[in-house]
């Protein structure tokens, strides 16, 4: 089967990167998400960025078996091998303790996730949680679960696909977060947004090249975080530490209706030089309230430079130090 690398937006065809950029712009401007459709069957699709084990492609929100482009392009390894690529509802119930909720539980423990892409376009990384004591309780239970759980998405009538093991990293109930991720759903019907990450998420460690050792880098980072937090508090912000959530920024700054997301970079040098992850840079492009806070001479005489995403892209040169390579499967 061929991989969908183009979609239709109204009467024109666009590629994955253009579609992702349009979604990011719409989200930043708080406008409805653009409606992308399959070039072959005309059904709704969503763009997927390349990364992990998945090349960039368009994915149908609901599988159309008569469409040659209606499948997910994956090259999964390890744990995925023991799961069938598509299972029916009975097998899903056996693997996730049954039930009809998308957060499946048994005896007070989360056993798995069963997600629908027509309700959660950015699943499994982002889940929109509706209102109601039962589902809100399960959302918080998932957040408190210290382990990853098997995650499935619905691909068609009585057909579910295993995506891997995912764990919750954050549950946000703020107005701006709900507006950003609600998609076409009404904000008044949403209790909050769950953020998940795959246990297969890639992390890259930088050593050498004139950069400090890990222990020294951590000390510099803590000094920078402390300095930025203090500066924001002096400006009247309430600051929440989000470092452990791996959400693309370190600090959430709140002042009245104002909400800013700060990614903090620290260095002992006078000139700013730092690394930024793919997740952090993607977050900067998705959120117009994202800020880069660079603290130079962090442990001596700290100086703070704050930039918007656009200013960061203009002021700095980005050089890739590593590439992840996956094989492209030829079309049948």
pLDDT tens digit sequence for 68-80: 777 554 444 433 3
Q: What is the DSSP string of 215-276?
A: HHHHHHHHHHHHHHHHHHHHTT-EEEE-GGGTSS-SEEEEETTEEEEEEEEE-SSSS-----
More confident residue, 202 or 234: 234
> pLDDT tens digits for 73-129?
444 443 333 444 678 889 999 889 877 789 999 999 999 999 988 888 888 889 999
- Where does the chain hold its CATH 2.30.280 domain(s)? 76-201
Per cent of the chain over pLDDT 90 is 40
Position 55 pLDDT exceeds 70: no
Question: Residue 244's pLDDT is what?
Answer: 80
Banded pLDDT at 330 (limits 50, 70, 90): low
Average pLDDT over residues 270-289: 89
Position 53 pLDDT exceeds 70: no
Average pLDDT over residues 176-201: 86
Share the mean pLDDT of the chain.
84
Q: Is 189 helix (H, G, I), strand (E, B) or coil?
A: helix
Question: Residue 66's pLDDT is what?
Answer: 75
Average pLDDT over residues 193-208: 77
Task: Mention the CATH class of domain 214-315.
Answer: alpha beta
- Where does the chain hold its CATH 3.40.1350.10 domain(s)? 214-315
Per cent of the chain over pLDDT 70 is 86
Which DSSP symbol is given to 199?
A: T
Look up the CATH number of domain 76-201: 2.30.280
Position 61 pLDDT exceeds 80: no
């Amino acid at each position: 089967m061929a991989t969908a690398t183009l979609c239709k937006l109204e009467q024109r065809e666009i590629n994955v990167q253009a579609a992702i950029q349009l979604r990011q712009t719409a989200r930043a401007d708080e406008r409805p998400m653009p409606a992308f459709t399959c070039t072959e069957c005309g059904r709704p699709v969503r763009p997927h960025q390349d990364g992990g084990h998945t090349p960039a492609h368009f994915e149908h929100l609901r599988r159309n078996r008569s469409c040659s482009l209606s499948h997910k392009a994956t090259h999964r390894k390890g744990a995925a091998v023991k799961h069938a690529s598509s299972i029916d509802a009975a097998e899903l119930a056996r693997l996730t303790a049954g039930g009809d909720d998308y957060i499946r539980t048994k005896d007070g423990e989360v056993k798995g996730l069963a997600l629908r892409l027509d309700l959660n376009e950015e699943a499994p990384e982002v889940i929109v949680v509706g209102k109601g004591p039962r589902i809100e309780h399960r959302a918080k239970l998932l957040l408190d679960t210290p382990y990853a759980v098997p995650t499935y998405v619905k691909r068609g009538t009585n057909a579910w696909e295993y995506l891997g093991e995912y764990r919750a990293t954050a549950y946000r109930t703020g107005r701006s977060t709900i507006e950003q991720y609600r998609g076409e759903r009404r904000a008044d019907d949403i209790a909050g947004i769950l953020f998940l990450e795959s246990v297969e998420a890639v992390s890259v460690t930088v050593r050498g090249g004139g950069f400090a050792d890990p222990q020294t880098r951590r000390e510099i980072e803590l000094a920078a975080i402390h300095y930025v937090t203090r500066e924001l508090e002096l400006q009247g912000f309430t600051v929440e530490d989000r470092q452990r959530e791996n959400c693309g920024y370190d600090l959430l700054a709140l002042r009245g209706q104002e909400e800013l997301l700060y990614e903090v970079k620290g260095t002992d040098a006078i000139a700013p030089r730092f690394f930024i992850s793919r997740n952090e840079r993607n977050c900067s492009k998705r959120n117009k309230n994202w800020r880069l806070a660079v603290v130079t001479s962090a442990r001596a005489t700290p100086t703070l430079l704050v930039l918007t995403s656009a200013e960061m892209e203009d002021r700095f040169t980005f050089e890739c130090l590593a590439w992840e390579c996956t094989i492209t499967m030829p079309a049948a």
